[in-house]
Structure formats: C-alpha cells, structure tokens
Amino acid sequence: MVLPLALAQFIASYAATNMNVAVTTIADDIGTTVAGIQTTITLFTLTMASLMIPGSKLSDIWGRKRCFLLGLTIYGAGALLASFAQGLPLLIVSYSLLQGVGSALLIPPIYILITVAFADVQTRAKYFGVVSGAAGLGAAAGPLIGGLITSGISWRASFVVQFLVVAAIVVLARNITEPPRTARPPHFDLMGAILSALGLFFVVFGVLQSQTYGFFVSRKDFTIGGAVVIPEGSISVVWVYIAIGLIFLAWCALHLRSVEKAGGDPLFSLRLFRNRISNLGLATQLDQWLVMQGLFFAISVYLQEVWHYSAIKTGLALVPATVGILVASAAADRMAHRRAQASLIRFGFLAAVIGIALLLALVRKHSNVLTFAPGLLCVGIGVGVMLTASVNVVQSSFSDAEQGDISGLSRSVSNLGSSLGVALSGSILVAAASPGNTQYAAAIGVLGVVALLGLVAALMIPRVKPAFDQTPKEPVRD
C-alpha cells in the first residue's frame, strides 16, 4: 500500500526540480526566456500550494483513494500534454496548471491514507518517514534524472517518463484500501478555497515581479492600460501585490471564523493555528523547502547561464545534495526513535547553514565544479534529517479526526515554501542580464538568512514528543 503512495510523492517532488537543469534548453527550444521558464516552475508549485488545502478537503468529501486516483489522472494528462508543448502558453497550461492541480489532489490523500491505515503511532511515523524521504529524494534526484534524460534524449522525454510512472502508480494503487466512511462528508467551502488561493497567488506573484521592478524601489514605470500607475523610483509594485495577497488571506481568515461560528464546515479550522508546536513545525517546513528549492534553482541557472553547463553536467553538479538527502533519509527513522524531533530539525538547519556558508566561501566564477560539493552535501544531509522530523511534529500534534485538515495545510505550506524559493532566488538572478558571481552570492546569501530563521524557529520547538505521539522505547536525549 505504501509503495504507490511513496512513488506518487516522489514523482510530484521530482516534477518541481527536474526542469531546473533544462531551463536554458527549454527556453531556447520553445522560444522564450529564462524568466519565462522560472515563472512556469513557480506557477507549478504555487498552484499546488494554493489548492492543497481544497484538495485535502475534497479527499474527505469524495474519498481518499478516489481523490488520489483522480489527481494521478490529471497529473498524467498534464505530463503527456507538456511533452508536445511548442510554446510557453501550452507549457504553463500542461505543466503549471494541470500537473499542479493533479498534485494538489493526489498529495493530501497520501498522508491521510497512512494515518487511517496504521493506528500504531510508531508505525505511522515510520511510513511518514518513507513518504517524506521520497519527497526529499524526488526533489534532490530531479536535477540528475532530468539532466540525464534531457541530454540523452530531450526535455520532452522527461515528461513522457513522468506519464509512464504515473500509469504504473495507478496500477499499483489497486492494492490501496480505505476504511469505510463512518461520519457524514463535510461540505466544500468554495468561498474559503477561492480566498485562500487568491491570497497565496498574489503574495508569490508579487515576489516574482521583483525580477522586473526590483524589491524595494521600482526600476521602471508600472503601467496599466498605458497609464503610469507607479512611476520609476517609487515603491516597487512587489509590495502592492503582496499587500493585496495579505488582504485576501485576512478576508479568508474572517470567512473561516464566521463559517465555524455558524456551525458550518470551513475550508479548515483556524483552531489549527492555536497549537504552538505545530505552528513552529509549519514554519520549519516552509523554510526548509524554500531553502532547498531556491538553492537548486539558483545553482542550476548559475551553472547554465554563467558556466554554460549542459543539462547533464548541471544535474551531476547537484549530485552531492542528492547523496546527502538519500543517506540522511535512510537513517531518519532510526534517528527519530533515538532523538527528539526538535533536535533533528535543529541539526538539519545547522547543517544547511554551514552548507550555504561553504557555497559562498568556496565557489568562484572560474573555480572547479567540485567546490560546490561540500556545501551541497551539507545542505542535503540537513534537509534529509529534518524533512521527516518536521512532518512528524506537525501531524502528531493533532488527533486522527483533524488529520485531513492539518495534512492539507502542511502540504500547502511546504509547496508555498517551494514557490517562494524559486521566485525569490530566481528573481535575484534573472534581474541581471547576465547573472554573474555577485548575483549568485546575493541569491545564496538570502537563502542563508532564511535558513538561519528556520534554525531560530527550530530552537523554539520544545524538545519533547508532541501530545499525540507515544514515548519511544529508547530514551530521548539531545
């Protein structure tokens, strides 16, 4: 049962990073720019982030297995359609929208099915580790596998491979069993879904605009219908979009509270945010995915645009991160039984900060590609150690009855981190006509600050097991 779930999580995470190593190749082939491909990748993860909570709620309404299979079908159709894309519009529709929607439908049921299938908390935590490890490995292996396929065949073949893997998962998914429903299915909160999606969209879209207008002071006039709305030298339109997004999110919060007070079924309960340990766990999830996806995109673009690396050479340069995540993920379950989850998250962020410092200290415009290896290995080990721990902290902070809501919120936050990572680091790089070492250092430096913030959040997580977790057989020690 766990195999198709883990494979589905792997392929969804793979889709978010495999395009990084083929940015230049795809841009040249379909006649667009690096910024265009960056927007496509960001919209993919943003679509997932915006629809993950509605997708989780739909899995409660339609059934987890049914929603999982529907998501796989939409995802597979998008992958097949993307392989025929001749321009940016079709690539956005097939990859960013269809595959994004498919991922938002198939990912929440993965965690909910494991929760309802395994009553024992230790067993459940073990399989959370398997699936979370598959997510990290898919993201880390995406550049290597994508580079091999792109260089050996073409970037289009990578989408065909995704289609074939999804078809195999559909066959394997026949073995998934779902307990019969005992309670009435909830109503779908359409208004809440629209408001939350619009809020997240405008926040990330605003960050994307920094590549054109700058982060703080506008580098050019912002016009609507030929009329200058924000002149050059004024505050950047980035903050206008972010403000609009925050307004929609505040409106969404008011709507959810109103529905809940009236005894209805909100998109998710605001009570989820009253759990301090879970809030800190969500913050670490957002930070770790932001750092990982941001690093992969920034380094991939830098290698292709400045060092003129091919897709395969770019993928091979990122192998140390893949190795680090693979080794750490393999040991994650054993470490979870011996160490407190908070300790693992702290170690993960500390390793990531050290890795980013090494990337800044060792990499130069004309240095050897091996100078990337120590830093990427440290980051990979750090991410591999803390991915499972963060999921355990969040999911285990709530009862079984609340797993549907928290699963969707958790996955939404992770994908929001991925979107912001690509948008933030990519905007710093793409803002320059030719991203050189200065822009590389700026992008990596910003990600280093984010990693430090993640470490601060991790230090605030109590070094104890969450309320719904069981005490491990071995003593927890720091």
SS (H, E, C) 85-112: CCCHHHHHHHHHHHHHHHHHHHHHHHHH
- Torsion sign, CA atoms 5, 286, 327, 338: negative
pLDDT bracket for residue 111 (50, 70, 90): confident
State CA 96 to chain mean position distance.
13
User: Of the candidates 422, 374, 393, 380, which has an alpha carbon nearest to the alpha carbon of residue 133?
Assistant: 380
Asked if residue 341 is part of any domain, the answer here is yes
Mean pLDDT of 99-107: 91
pLDDT bracket for residue 437 (50, 70, 90): low
Query: Does one domain contain both 34 and 168?
Result: yes
Mean pLDDT over each residue of the chain, to the nearest integer:
84
pLDDT of residue 97: 93
The whole domain housing 305 covers: 2-177+265-459
Residue pointed to by tokens 């809501």: 405
Query: Does one domain contain both 94 and 66?
Result: yes
Query: Does one domain contain both 379 and 300?
Result: yes
Query: Does one domain contain both 271 and 259?
Result: no
CB atoms within 10 A of CB 208: 24
CA distance 392 to 405: 15
Query: Count of domains in the chain?
Result: 2
Query: Does one domain contain both 452 and 317?
Result: yes
pLDDT bracket for residue 328 (50, 70, 90): confident
User: Of the candidates 269, 285, 319, which has an alpha carbon nearest to the alpha carbon of residue 299?
Assistant: 319
State CA 462 to chain mean position distance.
25
Instruction: Give 326-383 as a DSSP string.
Output: HHHHHHHHHHHHHS-HHHHHHHHHHHHHHHHHHHHHH--TTS-GGGGHHHHHHHHHHH
| 307 pLDDT above the threshold of 50 | yes
Mean pLDDT of 236-241: 89
- Kindly report the CA angle at 467 between 13 and 249, in degrees rounded to 5? 55
The radius of gyration of the chain from alpha carbons, rounded to an integer in Å, stands at 21
Asked if residue 467 is part of any domain, the answer here is no
Write down which residue in 228, 246, 264 finishes a domain. 264
CA distance 373 to 283: 28
| 284 pLDDT above the threshold of 90 | yes
The CA-to-CA distance between both ends of the chain, in Å, stands at: 34
pLDDT of residue 431: 55
User: Of the candidates 68, 48, 159, which has an alpha carbon nearest to the alpha carbon of residue 412?
Assistant: 48
Contact yes or no for 465/471 (Cβ under 8 A): yes
CA distance 280 to 457: 6
What is the pTM (predicted TM-score) of this model?
Answer: 0.80
pLDDT of residue 157: 93
Among 33-47, 230-244, 342-356, 437-451, which range has the highest average pLDDT? 342-356
Among 146-155, 298-307, 425-434, 457-466, which range has the highest average pLDDT? 146-155
Query: Does one domain contain both 143 and 165?
Result: yes
Asked if residue 444 is part of any domain, the answer here is yes
Phi and psi based region of residue 263 (left: phi greater than 0; alpha: psi -120 to 50; beta: remaining): left
Q: Of 384-393, 408-417, 420-429, 434-443, give the lowest mean pLDDT range.
A: 434-443
| 477 pLDDT above the threshold of 50 | no
- In DSSP terms, 290 is beta-bridged to none
pLDDT of residue 347: 94
User: Of the candidates 390, 343, 351, which has an alpha carbon nearest to the alpha carbon of residue 374?
Assistant: 351
Query: Does one domain contain both 45 and 107?
Result: yes
| 247 pLDDT above the threshold of 80 | yes
Asked if residue 81 is part of any domain, the answer here is yes
DSSP state of 398: S
| 435 pLDDT above the threshold of 80 | no
pLDDT of residue 465: 52
Asked if residue 410 is part of any domain, the answer here is yes
Asked if residue 154 is part of any domain, the answer here is yes
Query: Does one domain contain both 42 and 93?
Result: yes
- Torsion sign, CA atoms 101, 289, 299, 199: positive
Asked if residue 168 is part of any domain, the answer here is yes
CB atoms within 10 A of CB 334: 11
pLDDT bracket for residue 469 (50, 70, 90): very low
Query: Does one domain contain both 417 and 296?
Result: yes
pLDDT of residue 285: 92
* CA distances for 444 relative to 44, 292, 295, 303, angstroms: 22, 11, 7, 14
Mean pLDDT of 151-158: 90
| 163 pLDDT above the threshold of 90 | yes
Mean pLDDT of 282-292: 92
Mean pLDDT of 12-28: 84
CB atoms within 10 A of CB 250: 12
Write down which residue in 246, 264, 282 finishes a domain. 264
Asked if residue 8 is part of any domain, the answer here is yes
Query: Does one domain contain both 318 and 224?
Result: no
Query: pLDDT (tens digit, 9 = 90+) per residue, 249-283?
Result: 999 999 999 998 988 888 888 888 888 999 999 99
Write down which residue in 213, 240, 264 finishes a domain. 264
Query: Does one domain contain both 259 and 350?
Result: no
Query: Does one domain contain both 329 and 376?
Result: yes
CA distance 195 to 301: 33
Residue pointed to by tokens 């980035």: 238
- Find the CATH number of the domain harbouring 359: 1.20.1250.20
